[in-house]
Chains A and B, each alone.
Chain A
Amino acid sequence: MTPGSATPMTPMSAPSYGQGSAEPTVLAVEALAVRYGDMEVCSDVSLSVRRGEALALIGESGSGKSVTVLAVTGLLGRGGAISRGSVVLDGEEITRLSEKERRRRGLFGRRIGVIFQNPSRALDPVFTVGQQLNEALSLTGLNGREALRSKAAEWLRHVGLPDPEEALDRYPHQLSGGQRQRAMIAIALASEPELLIADEPTTALDVTIQAQVLNLIRRLQRELNLALIIVTHDFGVVAAMADRVSVMYAGEVVETGSVTEIIRDPRHPYTRALLGSLPTGQPGARIEALPGSVPSAGTMPTGCRFHPRCPAAVAECAGEEPRLEPASYGRVLRCLRAEELAAYDA
């Protein structure tokens, strides 16, 4: 069912991510650009995730992180199209497949599982949880009423829903927010995907429930050795969940590194500013607020997209577009002054 899963990925050209892990790359996105009509909403996104690894994609609203997810899953919708770059899943080029072809290759729900932010919108209100789980289970080739029902109940038990047998016959509105998110996780994983994408999975939940759900996602990811992409705007979620982090700004990835590197030693001025603008919890202290806001697709600045807000910008930042490339100290980032700023820090 998964041709090419054994074939090693073609080595990625310039930026080498990873840290020498032997696990195969499940998803590689290279220089991806997405357009809606004549608006380019995503311009240069490169990221990769290996089996068993959790990659966090962090950015503010308008950074293009959700569009990247839609492009990977083929859910861009009317008017949206990938205009440049490539998406490779398990060594298979899936950038420009028709909807029919995507369905045939199991790219809708079967090989890529998705958990959305709002479980009440992602679940169908007129079908029971059991019926929606069966749909996912039947994608794996499982048949027969009894087999489906016991497997579905097993999944609900696995995600920690109380009374799984009873929950199968419940409609989404009969569950609490946290339970709905658990049900959605069960549905996303029931088709045994290779890649799980969680798009702001806990933004709508309370902190105690958020901890439960994130713990569950991490546990299942470990058990099933899944590649996980977690899309978020919350550095707390990144610190708790990610092995590696890609930071996005205005439709581009601006820095990629391990979770410790990004949080303890951010190098791109945007990553630094973003971390600097977090409340520290120190009473009365002023926060270093980053001035301005993320530019919209229609009004992108020339040169480096961050230069109008960047405290380290110089004249040439307005003219030349930096590329995402490894600096001498090993970090992959998009900044003309990467070397200069590192020398200044030292």
Chain B
Amino acid sequence: MTPESALPDGALFSLRDVSVRYPIRRGFFQRVVGHVGAVEQVSFDLMRGETLALVGESGCGKSTLGRAMLRLEDVSEGTITANGGMSRREIARRVQVVFQDPLGSLDPRWRIGDLIGEGLDVHGIVRGAARNDRVRELLSQVELPASAFYKFPHQLSGGQQQRVAIARALAMRPELIVLDEATSALDVSVQAQILNLLKDLQAEYNLTYLFISHDLTVVGQFADRVAVMYLGRIMETGSTTEVLASPRHPYTRALLASSLKVDPDARIETIPLLTGDVPSPRNPPSGCRFRTRCPLAQPDCASLDHRMVMAGSRQTAACRANNEH
């Protein structure tokens, strides 16, 4: 057991060597025959009022880590320390989530007013007329018309549904909101509206965001800090400007090079390609997890232990190509 360390100044959450593993079950008795390490040895501090982006390809563990923050997943190893209460009931109020698909996360048989008020009812925060007033206030905070109160989710557009999901999260006056690909399914013009709304709400309520995304341009604009994940591990973390402008780890560089730019000179022929697919987390490569696709891989990368190296104000996973051992 790791002893609980004191939180650094201004931190809301502190993660130390957090791993989330899923059992692999086989056979008639569903015997556990192994584990999938969805998240491996992740450490970072989440500062109050900041936006930390988790980026990476599918299967890199970014959503699992978000679920662990929400206590929807059990942490197999390491510790998550919170500033304040950490009981399940406390966390259910203090940490909220907005998912990618708003229609999938809103019950189609419930009216908008009840969807937004559900948390208020469950936690017994306000009742009766006061509860409805609070819901109407939330509607106006997310810039929805008061007439939405009695509507059903399918009567709203995708952007409006996402606003309802945000109002639902806001209703609990949370400290942290996990935004799991919250704008990925939206059209660009609607995405811009939602991102601006989230920025305004953050400034007003001093909210902390864990912004899970695969879109590096959105992250560059929206996040203060970024953590790049690959196969369950953090490969690089630091301020967004620094990491995106001068990526240090080969994976961050490859990820940035592959993402398309809105520039007619950036033709597909000029984009350097990574070979192959992301390996299965059931059977990750030994040593550096990126070595099977890394353009700079050397034979001894297979024996490299994962650890984070400080480079200025950022941390990068140790890499032979950066002369780290």
Contacts and interface: CB of A to CB of B under 8 A. Distances in A.
A284 B208 CA distance: 15
Interface string A229-251: 00001111111110000000000
B263 A263 contact: yes
Interface in B205-226: 214-218, 220-224
Given A215-B271, A277-B189, A206 B214 contact: yes
B24 interface: no
A294 B196 contact: no
A114 B272 CA distance: 26
Interface stretch (B85-93, B109-117, B252-260): B252-260
B258 A211 contact: yes
Contacts of A211: 258, 260, 268, 271, 273-274
Q: Could you say which interface size class chain B belongs to?
A: 35 or more
B192 A240 contact: no
Contact of B264 (A237, A239, A274): A239
Interface of B: 57-58, 157-159, 187-193, 195-196, 199, 214-218, 220-224, 240-241, 244, 254-255, 258-264, 266-269, 271, 273-274, 277-278, 293
Contact of A209 (B220, B267, B277): B277
Given A176-B277, A206-B278, A289-B192, A218 B187 contact: no
Contacts of B191: 277, 279
A61 B191 CA distance: 12
A215 B220 contact: no
Contacts of A236: 259-262
A263 B262 contact: yes
Interface in A282-300: 282-291, 293-294
A63 B222 CA distance: 27
B270 to A, nearest CB: 9
Given A239-B263, A283-B221, A212 B244 contact: no
Contacts of B221: 279-285, 287
A126 interface: no
Contacts of B218: 279
A61 B260 CA distance: 20
B77 to A, nearest CB: 27
- Please list the 10 inter-chain residue pairs (A to B) with the smallest Cβ-Cβ separation, ordered nearest first: A236-B260, A281-B220, A289-B192, A206-B57, A60-B187, A290-B189, A277-B192, A287-B192, A240-B268, A279-B221
17 contacts: A206-B58, A208-B254, A208-B274, A211-B273, A215-B271, A218-B269, A238-B262, A239-B264, A239-B266, A240-B266, A277-B188, A279-B222, A283-B223, A287-B192, A287-B195, A290-B193, A293-B189
A240 B159 contact: no
A198 B259 CA distance: 19
B268 to A, nearest CB: 4
Residue among B215, B216, B217, B221 facing the most chain A CB atoms (10 A cut-off):
B221
Nearest to B272: A211
Nearest to A162: B276
A286 B192 CA distance: 9
A210 interface: yes
Given A206-B214, A207-B258, A294-B187, 19 more contacts: A178-B277, A179-B277, A206-B58, A207-B260, A208-B57, A209-B277, A210-B260, A211-B260, A212-B274, A239-B267, A260-B264, A277-B192, A279-B192, A285-B221, A286-B196, A287-B192, A287-B196, A288-B192, A289-B196
Interface residues of A, number: 48
A214 B258 CA distance: 11
Contacts of B278: 206
Contacts of B271: 211, 215, 240
Contacts of B190: 60, 293
A279 B220 contact: yes
A159 interface: no
A279 B198 CA distance: 14
Nearest to A160: B275
B244 to A, nearest CB: 7
B307 to A, nearest CB: 25
A287 B191 CA distance: 10
Nearest to B270: A240
A310 B180 CA distance: 32
A259 interface: yes
Contacts of B187: 60-61, 233, 293-294
Contacts of B214: 206-207
B212 to A, nearest CB: 14
A178 B191 CA distance: 26
Nearest to B159: A293
B214 to A, nearest CB: 7
Contacts of A94: none
B192 A290 contact: yes
Contact of B260 (A209, A233, A237, A274): A237
A235 B244 CA distance: 20
B262 A208 contact: no
A239 B260 contact: yes
A282 B215 CA distance: 14
Nearest to B221: A279
A285 B192 CA distance: 11
Interface string A294-312: 1000000000000000000
